[in-house]
Amino acid sequence: MTSSKSRCDGLLEWSVVGSFTSIGHKVRSRHWDPIPDGALDDQVVIITGATSGIGKKLATEAARLGARIRFIARNPEKSEDLRNKLIDLSPHGDIGYYIADLSIMSDVAKVSDQILDNEPRIDVLINNVVVLPQERTETSEGLELAYATDLVGPFLLTNRLKDRMIDSAPARIISMISGGMYTQSLELDDPNYENGEYRGSVAYARAKRGLMVLTKMWSDQLAATGVTANATHPGWVDTAGVRDSLPGFYRISRPLLRTAEQGADTVLWLATSSEGGMRSGKLWHDRATRTEYRFKKTIETSAERNQLWAQLSATVEQLVG
């Protein structure tokens, strides 16, 4: 990137609104090369949360690029409908899905076993599923919904599949986080949000902060294995989740929101580019690495990272053994 391009990119990033909205994508994408056809030929790509929003666009584009898509979703009818659409786009028609509720750890454990039984290799795992509750809701296993879906579920799924990915190396783990993470630090004292006033946007952002920390830990653990672990945030995207969960924000920002295609771009680029295969433990936005922190108060210590891992491990052990 030339110095003028770098200055422009830096100004956009500093402004936040310019970076996260469609403005940033429009300006930055002028300098990008298109992802080549066949970039995912014959690669097994697992995507969570693929039946709507950014996840659906990810599945659609990955199928067009030649991937052998395996997506995980809750709704059998939506899943079958999506599978049929992806088959029409795919050069080989090898598209499959697994049914699971990724907020339920027994379901995550079960679907992980099914994937390991059926898929001899995994080239790319995309942790995309997300919820942003408007009020505190517990799953049938007693976990707060955002904590379960946005953090505990990806922790369990990735840890169960990562050995298969090592065997399949080179392979890539890509986790979708949120710019809301910048406002939050780890929640270690009350991770299940049982005390005080509940705000769904805060629970969601804290879960995404946790997923960023896990990304760095997976990167360290997988060093020299040929498996990279990266995170990306898509900016502010016009999805049903944003419309339903953040109606006030949606009304104000709607003219500047990104499309699902724009939100999906960096994930697909990380799945196909040389950078995504060589660099690990990074946060990416619009095909470039970004700072993980905007406020000092959100920076976690090494001890806090280890405490997060221990808490999640204990929760998983209690629920699924």
Q: Catalytic residue numbers?
A: 204
Q: Are 267 and 32 in contact (CB under 8 A)?
A: no
First to last CA, the chain: 49
Kindly report the number of other CB atoms within 10 A of residue 140's CB atom: 11
Report strand pairing: 283-285 vs 288-290: antiparallel
Contacts of 113 (CB under 8 A, 6+ apart): 160
d(CA 48, CA 129): 5
Residue 68 has phi, psi (to 5 degrees) of -90, 90
Task: Measure the CA–CA gap between 58 and 60, rounded to whole angstroms.
Answer: 5
Angstrom distance (rounded) from CA 242 to CA 12: 22
Burial of 183 (0-12, 13-18, 19+ CB in 10 A): middle
C-alpha–C-alpha distance, residues 101 and 108, integer Å: 7
